Amino acid sequence: MSSPLIHRQFKLPSGCSCSSFVIRETTGVDEQQAAFRADAREGRTTVYAELVRLSIVKVNGEKVSQPFMELENWNSKTRALLRRAYDSINDLSEEEVEVFLQAGEEVTLEPATESQTA
């Protein structure tokens, strides 16, 4: 059973294109859709940009359609904060990676029998 997706609201400083946004954690299905959209736009976007666009749920308290196509109208400061917010939900910190790797254990596997390889 999967856990519910993370949703987080961010309030932005003055000088940004909006006062707040809510973004969500993305999934493997989103990654497939983002890859398809990036391919369809023939190099005018990236899979990452499409994932960020798919993560936006609300802007200034109002639900928005997904993918959020108004992103191109936002200023650079707002888009930079959005990317940082997206990464904070959807990426791993160096500490998380280190803990994960340290928890890995060496295992010994039995050689496959002929019936297992057939």
Structural tokens at position 31: 């990654």
* Any domain includes 99: yes
* Any domain includes 46: yes
Q: Domain containing 24: what range?
A: 7-104
* Any domain includes 90: yes
* Any domain includes 98: yes
* Any domain includes 111: no
Better-predicted residue by pLDDT, 46 or 15: 15
**C-beta atoms surrounding 106 within 10 Å:** 4
User: 71 near 13, Cβ under 8 Å?
Assistant: no
Q: Quick one: which H or E segment has residue 116?
A: helix 114-117
- The residues, ordered by sequence, that sit 6+ positions from 22 with a Cβ below 8 Å of its Cβ are 7, 8, 9, 10, 56, 57, 58
What's this model's pTM, rounded to 2 decimal places? 0.79
User: Where are the extended beta strands (E) located within the chain?
Assistant: 7-11, 20-24, 56-59, 62-63
Please give the pLDDT value at position 95: 92
Domain tally, the chain: 1
* Any domain includes 26: yes
- The residues, ordered by sequence, that sit 6+ positions from 14 with a Cβ below 8 Å of its Cβ are none
* Any domain includes 94: yes
Condensed to tens digits (0 to 9), the pLDDT of residues 39-82 reads 887 767 888 999 999 999 999 999 999 999 999 999 999 999 99
* Any domain includes 114: no
Condensed to tens digits (0 to 9), the pLDDT of residues 4-13 reads 889 999 999 9
